[in-house]
Amino acid sequence: MNISYELNDRSEGVTMNHQYNLTTNEKIVLIDLGKQGNLAPAELAQISGLKVETVIQSAFMLQEKGLVDVLEQVIETYNLTSEGEEYARSGLPERQMILAISGPTSLEELKEKVSPKIVSIATGWLRRKGWANIEQGNVIPLGKADIGDDEKALISLSNGEVTSEQLGVASSIVQELIKRKLVNRNEKKLRTFRITADGEELVRDGITLEEEIAQITSEMIKSGEWKEKKFRPYDIHTSPRIIYGAKVHPYQRLIDQMRQIFLEMGFTEIKGDIVQSSFWNFDALFQPQDHPAREMQDTFHLKGTSELPAEYKDKVRAMHEHGGEIGSKGWGGNWSEEIACKNVLRTHTTAVTIKYLADNPKPPIKAFSIDRAYRRETIDPTHTPEFEQLEGVVMDKGITFANLLGLLSEFYHRMGFKDVRFRPGYFPYTEPSVEPEVYVEGLGWVELGGAGVFRKEVTHPLGIKYPVLAWGLGVSRLAMLKLDLKDLRELYQSDIDWLRKTPSPKL
């Protein structure tokens, strides 16, 4: 605040009354009111050099402290309507008409001289004011037409809004003009401030005006000026303006927390292409070639094809056709390379996982991925054609289904689910299979993902010699739970307001 300069030479009195804890502005207002008696805000502003709003605000604060009375008086004022303004310029209709004629004149003739509207208004008033008679459609002037008080009032009102005292005509005249819709009546609150006895006493005792620091400036800090001055106390209870910072997508934050869990558990992150051959997406996972999930209605098929891996394709063929070398029954029928080499958008991240296991056959392997998978689903609140899938695999000597349950318990506990239970499940490429369920307050037991031990029909043709434990879950469904979303689309086609307002989630 820059009021300090004008205040310095206004300092007066010697003691300070701490009881009231007045701001500088309040002190100025009080001192000025003490000198001047009643003052209107504008007058007070002029005297004190403060802004009108500041004066009003300070006076009200002083009123709360019992140092100032705020007096309110209602006064009446008048101003012209737009019709009134017109007549103030060109005369009342009856005046216009009486000026337009010198002897008896027919109404038809008059309508050509002045406007028909004016004629119809004026005739009544000519008779009423005794300026003319109207006989058989003729206006006969009576030779007398003095300027009336109403006309005087119109003229004085044409300078702007006035009070009735300022107008100085009988109230009946004003009422008539209001009835003629030429004048508006207004009510105005007139506010004045007056110092109370307590206020006067305080001023008598003396008020010290001293400079207060509002915004600290660089100069103040450097000069040390702040040491001699008081810091104006702020109202710390004022509600803050709501602002939003830039942020990581809440869903990404959840994904990163899950990645963190895997990394802490000693898993290596793997990634792969979105475009995969049917071979890696289905055949390598022992999905029969006539399985409904492979059809056009469930999977996004692409135009291109991929070359089949020479080291695996014959072994995979043998497994599908007759169970290969492990005594399985296989699926029977003929396995077609043409079907296997067709490209698809990966329907699960397992297409990437299985290739990683084939490429890295040395145990122990612990790997995970959280990436997008694609299914040919119509978009609705709980289905989207692409979604994130989480997957973990462990390949090691001597590991069993019981170890899988151990891993799942640990994993889900770290995800924040205290209670986990297991039910039999079915997945085409695992045996045994299990559906983990977690307990969610308010929802009960919720199925969350699937898991199992990879079938030998899957691992053997790829040269994977040890058991593989695997589990996966749909991350977007979990995000719905954690972010309290009703519609999955909100994650992908985000409302910026939702992004701004959604607090960073925690698992």
Partner 1 sequence: MPVITLDYNDLEKLTGADKKTIIEHIPMIGADIERIEADHVDIEFFPSRPDLYSVEGTARAMRGFLGVEKGLCEYEVRPYSVEIYKDAAIDEIRPVLGCAVVRGMQFTSSSIKSLMDLQEDLHWAVGRDRKKVSIGVHDMTYIKPPFKYQAVDPDFRFVPLDFTEPLSMKEILEKHPKGVRFAHLVDGLSKYPLITDANDNVLSFPPIINGTLTRVHEGTTDLFIDVTGLSDAVYTALVIVTSALAERGGHVEFVRIINADGTDKLTPDMFSDIWKLTSEEVMDLSGIELSPKDIVELLERMRFGAKVLEDGTVEVQVPGYRADILDNSDLIEDIAIAYGYKNIKPILPLSATVGTQHPLSSERGHVRDIMVGLGYSEVMPFTLTSEKVHFEWMCRPVTDDVTCVIHPISEDQTMVRTTLLPNLMEILSFNQHRELPQRIFEVGEVVVSGKNSLHLAAVSIHASANFTEVRELLDAIMRERQTSYEIVGSEDPAFIKGRCADILINGNKVGVIGEIYPQVLINFGLGQPVVGFEIKLL
| Residue 423 within binding range of partner 1, rule CB under 8 A | yes
Confirm or reject binding of residue 328 to partner 1 (CB under 8 A): yes
Q: How many Å separate Cα 250 from the centre of its chain? A: 17
Residue of 157, 124, 390, 387 whose CA lies nearest to 256: 390
Q: Determine phi and psi for 427, rounding to 5 degrees.
A: -135, 140
CA distances 52 to 29, 44, 65, Å, are: 11, 8, 20
Which range of residues in 76-84, 98-106, 191-199, 490-498 is near partner 1 by CB under 8 A? 490-498
- Secondary structure of residue 187 in the 3-state scheme: strand
CA distances from 44 to 20, 65, 202, 210 (A): 21, 19, 19, 20
374 near partner 1, rule: CB under 8 A: yes
Residue 338 C-beta: closest distance to partner 1, Å: 15
Site for partner 1 in 119-138 (CB under 8 A): none
Beta bridge partners of 444: 440
| Tokens representing residue 230 in the block | 């008081």
At its nearest, how many Å lie between partner 1 and the CB of residue 355?
14
Q: Considering only CA atoms, which of 474, 432, 479 is closest in space to residue 456?
A: 432
The tokens describing 406, both together, are 């151990």
The one among 18, 237, 303, 418 contacting partner 1 by CB under 8 A: 303
Closest approach, Cβ 265 to partner 1, in A, equals: 7
Q: Pick between residue 139 and residue 399 the one whose CB is nearest to partner 1.
A: 399
Bridge-based pairing state of the strands 138-141 and 105-106: antiparallel
SS3 for 220? helix
The H or E element spanning position 431 is: strand 430-440
Q: What is the CA radius of gyration of the chain?
A: 46
Closer residue to partner 1 in complex, CB, 97/394: 394
| C-alpha span between 358 and 310 (Å, rounded) | 13
Which residues contact residue 115 at a Cβ distance below 8 angstroms, ignoring those fewer than 6 apart? none
Return the range that interacts with partner 1 (CB under 8 A); candidates 7-15, 32-40, 124-132, 289-297: 289-297
- The torsion region of residue 266 among left (phi > 0), alpha (psi -120 to 50) and beta comes to left
Given the complex with partner 1, which of 51 and 423 has the nearer CB atom? Answer: 423
User: Between 172 and 268, whose beta carbon lies closer to partner 1?
Assistant: 268
Residue closer to partner 1 by CB (options 154, 394) is 394
- Tell me how far, at minimum, the Cβ of 30 lies from partner 1, in Å: 43
Q: Whose Cβ is closer to partner 1: residue 7's or residue 462's?
A: 462
**Of positions 363, 382, 414, 507, contacts partner 1 by CB under 8 A:** 363
Candidate list 76, 86, 201, 256; residue touching partner 1; CB under 8 A? 256
- Residue 356 near partner 1 by CB under 8 A: no
DSSP annotation of 293 reads G
Q: Which amino acid is at 73?
A: Q
Is 125 or 331 the residue whose CB approaches partner 1 more closely?
Answer: 331
262 is a site residue for partner 1 (CB under 8 A)? yes
Q: Applying CB under 8 A, which of residues 180, 257, 494, 505 lies at the interface with partner 1?
A: 494
b/e map of 459-489 (b: 16 or more CB within 10 Å)? bbbbebebbbbbbbbbbbbbbbebbebeebb
Residues 437-476 that bind partner 1 (CB under 8 A): 447, 453, 455-457, 467, 469
Q: Does 285 bind partner 1 (CB under 8 A)?
A: no
DSSP labels, 55-83: HHHHHHHHHHTTSEEEEEEEEEEEEE-HH
Closest distance to partner 1 from the beta carbon of 179 (Å): 50
Please give the helix or strand (H or E) that residue 256 lies within, else none. helix 250-264
Q: Which of residues 304-323 bind partner 1 (CB under 8 A)?
A: 304, 323
Give the shortest CB-494-to-partner 1 separation in angstroms: 5
Determine, following the binding rule CB under 8 A, whether residue 399 of this chain makes contact with partner 1: yes
- 327 touches partner 1 by CB under 8 A: yes
Nearer to partner 1, 192 or 459 (CB): 459
Are the CB atoms for 360 and 295 separated by under 8 Å?
A: no
Length of the chain in terms of residues written: 507
Residues numbered 183 to 202 that lie near partner 1 (CB under 8 A) are: none
Residues between 63 and 102 with contacts to partner 1, criterion CB under 8 A: none
Q: What's the min distance (Å) between Cβ of 452 and partner 1?
A: 9
Compute how many residues bind partner 1; rule: CB under 8 A. Answer: 92
Minimum Å distance from CB 327 to partner 1? 6
